[in-house]
Chain A
Amino acid sequence: MADKADTQTSMAPAPAKTILDAKTPDGPIAEKWDKARFEMKLMSPANRRKFRIIVVGSGLAGGSAAATLGELGYNVDCFAYQDSPRRAHSVSAQGGINAAKNYRNDGDSIFRLFYDTVKGGDYRSREANVYRLAQVSNNIIDQCVAQGVPFAREYGGLLDNRSFGGAQVSRTFYARGQTGQQLLLGAYQALARQIHAGRVRMHNRTEMLDLVVVNGVARGIVTRDLRNGKIERWLGDAVVLATGGYSNAFYLSTNAKGCNVTAVWRAHRRGAYFANPCFTQIHPTCIPQSGEHQSKLTLMSESLRNDGRIWVPRQPGDTRAPGDIPENERWYYLEERYPSFGNLVPRDIASRAAKSVVDTGHGVGSRRNGVYLDFAEAIERLGANVIRDRYGNLFDMYENITGENPYEVPMRIYPALHYTMGGLWVDYNLMSTIPGMFAIGEANFSDHGANRLGASALMQGLADGYFVLPYTLSNYLAQAKLEPLTTDHEAFRAVEEEVSGRVERLLKANGERSVDSYHRELGQILWEYCGMERSEDGLKKALELIPTLREEYWQNVRVPGESEELNQSLEKAGRVADFMELAELMCIDALQRKESCGAHFRNEYQTADGEARRDDENYAYVAAWEYAGDGRAPILNKEPLTFEYVALSQRSYK
C-alpha cells in the first residue's frame, strides 16, 4: 500500500521514458476536426444498442455526455455520488460561458478565442484541442438555448454578452450569477429525458472506488452504494470519467465538499497517466477565511473586478477602518503595477499580487488576511442602482456570509483554490493511456494549459460531453475488438477484493484522529509549499512531510461506524487517502518543472520585476506521470508541445 512509500525514492523521479503521441490529425488547424470526423468509423444505429457505456460523474461533462450517448442509442450507466445528477459541482459556476459567436461585432472569431486560450494558458496546452474547443463553442450556445437555458437577453430579445476576466471582446454568455446552474440543468434535463426513455440508468449516491482493466482494456468499475455500503461490479464496453478536479486536496477550496480525486486516482494507479498535476488555479476573488472551523471558501465572481478597485493600506500594519484611510495612503497595487490591465489582469497575476501584499503586512480585516475590493468609486460614477443590477446577488451573498454591507464598506477578498488544469492525460480523442477509458471535463488535463481563462471551464465541459466524446467514443467502439465478458471474470473479482480490503482497513485503523483533522493538515502543507508560490526547498520539505503524514494516517485515523450503512466518515476517509497520494505527485511535478508558467510560479524562476519566467526551450511539454507501484518513484513521460499558429511570447499585462 501507498503508506509504505519511501520518501527517498519518491523525491527523485526517473528521467523521461516515453514521448507520448497525441494522435492529432494532420493538416491545417482549422480542418483537423473535420478531417478527424470524416476519417472516423461510423456505427450504425442498430449496432449502438449492443453497447453499454459507463459514465462516472453527472456534471456538465458527464451529464451532457450521458444524455448525448443515450440519444445516439447507446446503453448508458451514469453514476453520481450526490443524491441527484443536478447537484454536480458545475452547478456552482457563476460567471458565464465563452463562445466565439461574435454577436457583438467586436472582432471576435474562432481563431481569436483559440489564440486567447492558448496564450492565457501560458503556452502549455495542445493547439489542436484548443482550436476544436473554440470551433464547437458556438454549437454549445445553440444547443443550450434550444434546451431552454434562460441566458440573459437584451430588450430586442437577442442574447446579451459581457466581457469577462480581462478579455478584450464581449464573448461571455451568462444567466444572472448562476450560469453553471442553468447549463447544468439543461444537461440534467436532457439526461432526465434519456433516463425516462430507458437509455440511461442513473445510479445516485453511488461512488466509483476502482477501475477494472481486463487484458489492458478498461471494461468496468467497482462502486460502493453510499446508502447501504454495498460493493458492486459494473461491466461496460467503455468507461468515461467525468469526475471533476482535485482542488479539495487543499482542504479549503471553492469546490463542493464532496469533490474528490478518487475515481481519477484509482484509474491512474491502474495505468492512466496523470498530466501536469501541479497546474492548480487559485481564484483571486474569494471571501477570506474567517475562522478555524471554516469548512470551505466561497468564490465571488470575477466579474466584480470589472467595477471594483483593489487596494490595501500603503502602510503595513495599518489597522484603521477603510473609510478612515485617506486616498493618498491607499495602495492600488494592481493599477500601479499593470497600468493597461489594472484590476483585470489574469487570475494568476492578481492572486500572486494579493498574496505578496498580505505577506508583507498590508492585509486587511480582523485576521489581516485579505485585500479590499472597493466599489465606492463605481457607485459614485454609476449609481448604486446600476451596481445593484450588475452584482446585486453577489453583494447579498457577501453580506450574508460576512455580515458586512459592500455598498458601504469595501469587500474583503483573498485568493483560494478553485480549479485544477492538471488531470488525466488524454489524446486528441479524449482517450487516456488505458484503451477504452476516456476522461472529459475538468478530470482530464484539459485545454487550459497552465492557467484557465474565466468562463472557459463550462465551455470545455460541454464541448467534451456534447460534441467531442460522442464522436470519438463511437469511433473507438466501432473498431475495438472487445472480448465477451461477465462481471464474474477474475479481474472483477480481484478489484472488488482490493476495494473491500481498503474499506476494511480504514474502519479497522481505529486510531485517535478524525479524517477531517488529517485533511486540514494535508491542505496546510499543500497551501504552504505547493500553492501560489513554490520553491525547491519548500517542495522538498513537502515531500518529506506528506509521506510521513500519510503513514500516520493509515495507522491513526479514526473512522467510526460500519461499512454496511450510510457512513459519511468512511466516504471521506477513502477520498482523503487518495488526496494524500496525489499530493505527493503534485509536489514531484512542481519540483521537476523548473520554470514559472501560468498558475505554476517557482520563485527561483522570475524576472527582475517579479514576473513569471517561462522556459520554452526545456519545458514546453506536458508532464504525464506513470504510476510505477507503491514506494517507487513515478515515471515521467512527455508530450512535446509545438506551436504553429500562436507565436510563443512572454505574457505582458503592463
Chain B
Amino acid sequence: MKFKLRIWRQPNALRKGQFEEYEVDDVGPDESFLEVLDMLNEQLIANGGDPVAFDHDCREGICGMCGIMINGIAHGPKAATTACQLHMRHFKDGDVIVVEPWRAKAFPVIKDLVVERAALDRIIQAGGYISASTGSAPDANSIPVPKPVADVSMDAAACIGCGACVAACPNSSAMLFTAAKVGHLNVLPQGQAERFDRAVLMVDAMEAEGFGGCTNIGECAAVCPKEIGLDFIALLNREYLHGKLKGAGSRNA
C-alpha cells in the first residue's frame, strides 16, 4: 500500500508550525499506524531530513503515551482503538492522511506531534487517590465490594490518560478524564471518606489548568479508546454538586 501523509511540523511551542506532505510506499496491511511513521522517519533520516517527533511507548494500547489526530479524529477512524493499535488495513491504498497533535490550551506543543500533558497529572494530584499510606491497610477481604460495584469501578479505572477526550472536545474539557478517576474511586467503599472533597478538588484543578467546561457534546466518549461512558460525567456532576452543597474541597492535601 502507498499513502500520502500530511503531517503537522512545529519545531517548538514558540515557533509557528505548518503541514508538510510526505509519501510512504510499500506499507503492509498488518502494519500499525505508528510503524508507518517509523518507516517515514527512516526515510527522512536516510535523506538527511528531520524525523517527525511523536509520543509512543507500549504500542499495545495501554500506556496512553501515543495520541495524535488522524484525519481529524483523535486516535483515528477505528473506534475503541489507540493510534498504536490502528492497523493500515483500515485505510484504502492511496489515501491522503492528515496527522496533527492534540490541540488544547492545556496541552502546549513540545515538538511536531508531541504535546505536554502534565496538566492531567496535576488533576490527579489534587485529589485522585485514596489516602492509604503503606502499611495501614486492613485485610483485603475485610471490606466486601459487590461485584457490580467493582465492575463499574473497573470500567472507569480503565482510563489510560491519553488525553483524546480533551483533544476531541470543542471546549477542550478534561471532564471525561476527571470523571473516570472520580468514578473509579467514589463508587468503592474505600473511597467514601474523601468522596466529596475528591470531586470538588479535582474539578477545581481541571478549571485552574485551563481546560474548558463540559456542555454534554459527547465527542469525548466517542473517541475514548477505552470506551469510558458519559454516565461517568453524570456521576461526577452529582458528586460535585453534592460536594459543593456540603462545602467540601477546602482541605489542604
CA distance A560 to B51 in the complex (A): 8
Contact call B114/A566, Cβ cutoff below 8 A: yes
- Which chain A positions have C-beta within 8 A of B42? 514, 516-517
Which of B60, B130, B188: most chain A Cβ within 10 A?
A: B60
Binary contact readout B36-68 vs A (1 if CB under 8 angstroms, 0 otherwise): 001100101110111101011111111111000
Taking the closest CB of chain B, its distance from the CB of A431, in whole angstroms, is 20
A190 part of interface (Cβ distance < 8 Å): yes
Contact call B145/A193, Cβ cutoff below 8 A: no
Q: Knowing A84-B120, A150-B184, A152-B150, say if A294 contacts B63 (CB, 8 Å).
A: no
Contact call A148/B57, Cβ cutoff below 8 A: no
Binary contact readout A110-153 vs B (1 if CB under 8 angstroms, 0 otherwise): 00000000000000000000000000000101111111101111
User: CB within 8 Å of A: which of B11-45?
Assistant: 11-12, 27-32, 34-35, 38-39, 42, 44-45
Q: Which of A173-181, A235-243, A600-608 contacts B (4 or more CB under 8 A)?
A: A173-181
| Of A178, A193, A403, the contact of B158 (CB 8 Å cutoff) | A178
CA distance A86 to B139 in the complex (A): 26
Contact call B57/A89, Cβ cutoff below 8 A: yes
Contact call B63/A89, Cβ cutoff below 8 A: yes
Binary contact readout A75-86 vs B (1 if CB under 8 angstroms, 0 otherwise): 000000011111
- Which chain B positions have C-beta within 8 A of A71? 133-134
Contact call A291/B147, Cβ cutoff below 8 A: no
Chain A: which residue is nearest B159 at the CB level?
A185
Chain A: which residue is nearest B43 at the CB level?
A514
Which of A293, A466, A560: most chain B Cβ within 10 A?
A: A293
Contact call A195/B130, Cβ cutoff below 8 A: no
Q: Which of B93-101, B121-129, B234-242 contacts A (4 or more CB under 8 A)?
A: B121-129
Contact call B58/A91, Cβ cutoff below 8 A: yes
CA distance A561 to B53 in the complex (A): 11
Contact call A296/B30, Cβ cutoff below 8 A: no
- Which chain A positions have C-beta within 8 A of B161? 84, 86-87
Contact call A195/B125, Cβ cutoff below 8 A: yes
A30 part of interface (Cβ distance < 8 Å): no
Contact call A150/B157, Cβ cutoff below 8 A: yes
A565 part of interface (Cβ distance < 8 Å): yes
Contact call A83/B63, Cβ cutoff below 8 A: no
CA distance A193 to B50 in the complex (A): 40
Contact call B59/A257, Cβ cutoff below 8 A: yes
- Which chain B positions have C-beta within 8 A of A326? none
| Of A87, A204, A291, the contact of B64 (CB 8 Å cutoff) | A87
- Which chain A positions have C-beta within 8 A of B110? 227, 566
Contact call B138/A142, Cβ cutoff below 8 A: yes
A105 part of interface (Cβ distance < 8 Å): no
A509 part of interface (Cβ distance < 8 Å): no
Taking the closest CB of chain A, its distance from the CB of B131, in whole angstroms, is 6
CA distance A653 to B92 in the complex (A): 49
Contact call B28/A192, Cβ cutoff below 8 A: no
Contact call A291/B145, Cβ cutoff below 8 A: no
Binary contact readout A144-170 vs B (1 if CB under 8 angstroms, 0 otherwise): 111110111111111100000000000
CA distance A403 to B30 in the complex (A): 8
Contact call B48/A560, Cβ cutoff below 8 A: yes
B213 part of interface (Cβ distance < 8 Å): no
Taking the closest CB of chain B, its distance from the CB of A109, in whole angstroms, is 16
CA distance A185 to B114 in the complex (A): 23
- Which chain B positions have C-beta within 8 A of A397? 60-61, 85
CA distance A227 to B48 in the complex (A): 22
- Which chain B positions have C-beta within 8 A of A50? none
A189 part of interface (Cβ distance < 8 Å): yes
Taking the closest CB of chain A, its distance from the CB of B108, in whole angstroms, is 11
Taking the closest CB of chain B, its distance from the CB of A138, in whole angstroms, is 8
- Which chain B positions have C-beta within 8 A of A92? 58, 60, 62-63
Binary contact readout B152-170 vs A (1 if CB under 8 angstroms, 0 otherwise): 0110011011000000000
| Of B121, B136, B191, the contact of A192 (CB 8 Å cutoff) | B121
Chain B: which residue is nearest A516 at the CB level?
B42
Chain A: which residue is nearest B161 at the CB level?
A86
CA distance A454 to B129 in the complex (A): 29
B245 part of interface (Cβ distance < 8 Å): no
Contact call A569/B51, Cβ cutoff below 8 A: yes
Chain B contact surface mostly: loop
Contact call A68/B134, Cβ cutoff below 8 A: yes
CA distance A195 to B116 in the complex (A): 18
Contact call B146/A153, Cβ cutoff below 8 A: yes
CA distance A92 to B44 in the complex (A): 31
Contact call A148/B56, Cβ cutoff below 8 A: no
Taking the closest CB of chain B, its distance from the CB of A292, in whole angstroms, is 8
Contact call B134/A470, Cβ cutoff below 8 A: yes
| Of A103, A148, A293, A565, the contact of B11 (CB 8 Å cutoff) | A565
Contact call A290/B28, Cβ cutoff below 8 A: yes
B87 part of interface (Cβ distance < 8 Å): yes
| Of A148, A470, A516, the contact of B191 (CB 8 Å cutoff) | A148
Contact call A294/B125, Cβ cutoff below 8 A: no
CA distance A366 to B38 in the complex (A): 24
B217 part of interface (Cβ distance < 8 Å): no
Chain A: which residue is nearest B60 at the CB level?
A298
Contact call B62/A91, Cβ cutoff below 8 A: yes
| Of B45, B60, B64, B191, the contact of A514 (CB 8 Å cutoff) | B45
B75 part of interface (Cβ distance < 8 Å): no
Contact call B12/A565, Cβ cutoff below 8 A: yes
Q: Knowing A82-B63, A175-B154, A196-B253, say if A189 contacts B117 (CB, 8 Å).
A: no
Q: Knowing A84-B161, A189-B124, A293-B39, say if A142 contacts B134 (CB, 8 Å).
A: no
Chain B: which residue is nearest A193 at the CB level?
B129
Chain A: which residue is nearest B30 at the CB level?
A290
CA distance A298 to B124 in the complex (A): 29
A258 part of interface (Cβ distance < 8 Å): yes
Contact call A196/B138, Cβ cutoff below 8 A: no
Q: Knowing A83-B117, A192-B129, say if A295 contacts B38 (CB, 8 Å).
A: yes
Chain A: which residue is nearest B89 at the CB level?
A403
CA distance A145 to B35 in the complex (A): 38
Taking the closest CB of chain B, its distance from the CB of A119, in whole angstroms, is 26
Contact call A400/B85, Cβ cutoff below 8 A: yes
Taking the closest CB of chain B, its distance from the CB of A442, in whole angstroms, is 15
A558 part of interface (Cβ distance < 8 Å): yes
User: CB within 8 Å of B: which of A282-318?
Assistant: 290-291, 293-296, 298-299
Contact call B50/A560, Cβ cutoff below 8 A: yes
B141 part of interface (Cβ distance < 8 Å): yes
Contact call B85/A560, Cβ cutoff below 8 A: no
Chain A: which residue is nearest B152 at the CB level?
A150
Binary contact readout A597-619 vs B (1 if CB under 8 angstroms, 0 otherwise): 00000000000000000000000
A101 part of interface (Cβ distance < 8 Å): yes
Contact call A153/B150, Cβ cutoff below 8 A: yes
A411 part of interface (Cβ distance < 8 Å): no
Contact call A157/B30, Cβ cutoff below 8 A: no
Chain B: which residue is nearest A254 at the CB level?
B60
CA distance A185 to B154 in the complex (A): 12
- Which chain B positions have C-beta within 8 A of A101? 140-141
Q: Knowing A159-B140, A466-B134, say if A153 contacts B145 (CB, 8 Å).
A: yes
List the 4 shortest-distance A-B pairs measured between CB atoms, nearest first: A157-B144, A189-B129, A146-B137, A146-B132
Name 17 A/B residue pairs within 8 A (Cβ), A-sorted.
A83-B65, A84-B161, A89-B58, A139-B135, A141-B140, A142-B137, A147-B129, A148-B190, A148-B191, A176-B158, A189-B128, A190-B133, A193-B253, A196-B125, A227-B110, A294-B35, A514-B45
> 11 additional contacts, CB 8 Å, given A86-B121, A150-B184, A256-B57?
A64-B134, A71-B134, A145-B190, A146-B130, A148-B129, A157-B144, A176-B158, A256-B58, A298-B59, A514-B42, A514-B46
